[in-house]
Amino acid sequence: MPGRRDEPLLRASAFEVQIGDRDVGFAQVGPLASDTTADDGSGRPVHRYLPVVLRRALTRSPELYDWRRAIVEGKDDRRDVTIRQLSAPGGKPVNAWRLIGAWPSRWTGPSFDAQTDEITYEEVELTFDDFVWLKTDATQGG
């Protein structure tokens, strides 16, 4: 097994996101986080997964808003979301995580400022039931 010194450093800029069976482009994703509080009063620790924020340039597509809107209207529209870290842009997956039963608990639309020429963004914050680190060819050594 190679030593830690032999492992290449992985960059944050190369990743893919799949919502259900659809690839969706995002500018930022994260953070992926889990925490444990010492006690809920019962003497047992409480484990939870923190929401993950997906951010992308706003387009004319309302698909993320529509997903959030369905939740607001009472529809149980949970989807698995897979996040793959790539070796480089267009490279092979080196790490992958799956958010199981994810649903948009918050959608944020753009802010506007007439004094700038910046790109507008939308964000969706995902709450989910479970979070797993998937095995990839890279993590299996092949």
Q: Does 42 have pLDDT greater than 90?
A: no
pLDDT tens readout for residues 61-95: 999 999 999 999 999 999 999 999 999 999 999 99
User: In the prediction, which pLDDT does 8 show?
Assistant: 79
pLDDT tens readout for residues 96-127: 999 999 999 999 999 999 999 999 999 999 99
User: In the prediction, which pLDDT does 140 show?
Assistant: 53
Distance CA 142, CA 102 (A): 30
Structural domains of the chain sorted by starting position, each given as residue range(s) with its CATH number in brackets: 11-31+49-134 (2.30.110.20)
Q: Does 11 have pLDDT greater than 90?
A: no
Kindly indicate the confidence band of residue 46, based on its pLDDT and cuts at 50, 70 and 90. Answer: confident
CA dihedral in degrees (36, 80, 83, 4; nearest 10)?
Answer: 50
